[in-house]
């Protein structure tokens, strides 16, 4: 609680002055850390046989839910504490950074006990280390408990953690695997308690350049709790959300929370298979949680309203099954009902994802489909069919000897909305996003989206551009600032008059996550 209060007080002024589009979800981070195994756990871990392997660039690498978003697992919290921070303070209780693989004690002991051509450690140093530590600890103890992680205060140079060799090594047995996992690693930390929790707080400062209005408001407060009756395999998750807007008072926002998600998840099964049932949003396309992004507004519009906050409050009662055995991943979802703004609608159908994710260049290819039907109280039927192809990757250009990763993501989404008794609407949206790493965890961001229809899928055209900066200042602190332009044109039909809307805005967000 004290840490939360300190962050809030120190950064309130920053929140009032910082400006950036509200980019909330982090699917691009899977690409960003794809070449850095230490982005998820301590450096140097060996692999296990494919049937037991959980290493994946899918959403479940950092989040509890395989569809992404929401509560972070222990690996996501590791990334938050160790990597998503430009600066740290011991007075605020931040954990220290850690040394690279070659500096860790467990690497030398492992080399001595289980020699491997892939892990190059001095034989003399390995032998000396083995002799030193096997006197103090029995082999059984350090395999069971793990050595301590060697830490440091200085910022980590990421190129020292590109484990392009050790992740290719398959351990001969469980002892060899666990011997290289230190006490602080998420693998061991997740076994210390059956209950964990997390929270998100987002405030926003929004200035409408055309209307001249400025609003500062509490946009959302999320709270999540997880109970694991069986440490690894069974998860019961509840997430609550208090959602506010430019016209909402803080007290009103905080006193009107609703259920964001509630589900049962069974995972850590062979070949990284899982089963999930409950209320949540199934993965579809590049499912960022920026509810103002054009593709997400149209997605939400197919189920009610294309408003700027509609996607943020949309969830479904769903039964899912999937697997992510290393490079490929597949998810299948059976959808039974839609939930939006406290209202439930009978929506039935199927959705799915099929993708490939690669360490090389952070490659990502994902195809998603969605087909659902619904019937209103008046008997009107609506059919929604959507398809999405998402391609992403990362290049690592160097300037003055310093590597500056550049993440690129492109998506093409098609959406058909067939209101049987009224009309049929069809749209296609092309989206591009990029993140350029400038200094430490500070990024220049750019987004662009164009569509062959208006945002409500009526005849016309629309486009969206956002440009800004994003900074992960300290662990759990994300400050964003930027400028955006939305253009929306509805062509005249019959005697109607053409409608055109151009809106420029300066938007900021302070995101605290724990």
> Strand runs (DSSP E) across 61-166, as ranges?
97-98, 151-152
- The three-class DSSP label of residue 299 is helix
Q: What pTM was computed for the model?
A: 0.87
Q: What pLDDT shows up at residue 445?
A: 96
Nearest to 52 by CA among 232, 235, 319: 232
User: For the chain, what is the largest distance between any 2 Cα atoms, rounded to a whole number of angstroms?
Assistant: 90
Tokens 């930390």 label which residue?
189
Whole-number Å distance between alpha carbons of 505 and 481? 11
Q: Which residues contact 141 (CB under 8 A, 6 or more apart)?
A: none
Query: 3-class DSSP state for residue 139?
Result: helix
Class of domain 195-513: mainly beta
Distance CA 160, CA 189 (A): 24
Q: Which residues pair with 451 in a beta bridge?
A: 429, 462
Going from N- to C-terminal start, the domains of the chain cover 18-189, 195-513
From 453, 344, 350, 363, select the one nearest 408 (Cα to Cα): 363
Distance, CA of 3 to CA of 90 (rounded, Å): 12
Are the C-beta atoms of 368 and 352 separated by less than 8 Å?
A: yes
Parallel, antiparallel or unpaired: strands 151-152 and 195-208: unpaired
**CA 69 to CA 383: how far, in whole Å?**
26
Those residues of the chain that have pLDDT short of 50 are: 1-25
pLDDT tens track for 458-482: 999 999 999 999 999 999 999 999 9
pLDDT of 300: 87
Instruction: Give the closest residue to 243 by CA, choosing from 201, 279, 212, 290.
Output: 201
In the block, residue with structure tokens 């950036």? 20
Q: Which two tokens stand for residue 177?
A: 């695997």
Task: State the number of CA atoms in the 13 A half-sphere of 201 facing the CB.
Answer: 15
Q: Which residues have C-beta within 8 Å of that of residue 170, sequence separation ≥ 6?
A: 46, 47, 48, 49
Q: Are 25 and 287 in contact (CB under 8 A)?
A: yes
């Amino acid at each position: 609680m004290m840490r939360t209060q300190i962050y809030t007080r120190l950064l309130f002024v920053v929140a009032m002055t910082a400006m950036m589009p509200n980019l909330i979800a982090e699917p691009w981070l899977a690409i960003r850390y794809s070449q850095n195994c230490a982005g998820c756990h301590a450096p140097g871990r060996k692999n296990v046989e494919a049937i037991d392997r959980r290493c994946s660039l899918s959403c479940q690498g950092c989040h509890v839910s395989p569809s992404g978003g929401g509560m972070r697992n222990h690996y996501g919290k590791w990334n938050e504490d160790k990597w998503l921070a430009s600066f740290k303070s011991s007075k605020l209780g931040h954990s220290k950074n850690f040394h690279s693989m070659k500096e860790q004690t467990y690497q030398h002991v492992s080399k001595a006990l289980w020699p491997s051509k892939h892990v190059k450690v001095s034989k003399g140093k390995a032998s000396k280390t083995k002799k030193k530590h096997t006197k103090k600890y029995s082999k059984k103890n350090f395999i069971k408990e793990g050595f301590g992680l060697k830490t440091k205060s200085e910022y980590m140079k990421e190129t020292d953690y590109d484990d392009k060799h050790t992740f290719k090594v398959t351990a001969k047995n469980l002892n060899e695997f666990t011997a290289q996992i230190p006490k602080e690693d998420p693998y061991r930390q997740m076994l210390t308690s059956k209950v964990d929790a997390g929270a998100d707080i987002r405030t926003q400062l929004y200035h409408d350049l055309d209307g001249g209005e400025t609003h500062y408001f509490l946009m959302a407060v999320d709270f999540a709790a997880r109970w694991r009756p069986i440490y690894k395999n069974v998860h019961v998750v509840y997430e609550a959300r208090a959602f506010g807007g430019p016209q909402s008072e803080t007290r009103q926002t905080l006193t009107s929370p609703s259920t964001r998600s509630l589900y049962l998840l069974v995972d850590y099964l062979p070949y990284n298979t899982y089963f999930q049932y409950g209320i949540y949003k199934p993965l579809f396309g590049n499912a960022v949680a920026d509810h103002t992004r054009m593709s997400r507004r149209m997605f939400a519009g197919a189920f009610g309203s294309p408003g700027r906050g509609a996607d943020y409050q949309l969830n479904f009662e769903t039964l899912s099954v999937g697997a992510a055995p290393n490079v490929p991943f597949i998810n299948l979802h059976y959808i039974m009902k839609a939930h939006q703004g406290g209202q439930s609608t009978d929506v039935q159908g199927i959705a799915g994802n099929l993708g490939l994710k690669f360490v090389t260049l952070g490659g990502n290819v994902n195809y998603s489909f969605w087909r659902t039907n619904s019937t209103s109280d008046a008997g009107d039927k609506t059919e929604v069919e959507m398809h999405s192809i998402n391609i992403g990757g990362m290049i690592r250009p160097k300037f003055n000897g310093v590597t500056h990763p550049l993440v690129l993501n492109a998506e093409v989404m098609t959406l058909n909305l067939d209101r049987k008794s009224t009309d049929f609407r069809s749209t296609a949206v092309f989206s591009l996003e990029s993140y350029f790493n400038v200094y430490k965890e500070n990024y220049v961001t750019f987004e662009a989206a164009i569509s062959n229809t208006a945002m409500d899928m009526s005849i016309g055209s629309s486009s969206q551009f956002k440009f800004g900066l994003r900074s992960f200042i300290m662990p759990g602190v994300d400050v964003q600032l930027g400028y955006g332009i939305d253009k929306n044109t509805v062509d005249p039909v019959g005697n109607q008059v053409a409608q055109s809307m151009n809106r420029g805005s300066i938007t900021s967000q302070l995101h605290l996550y724990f």
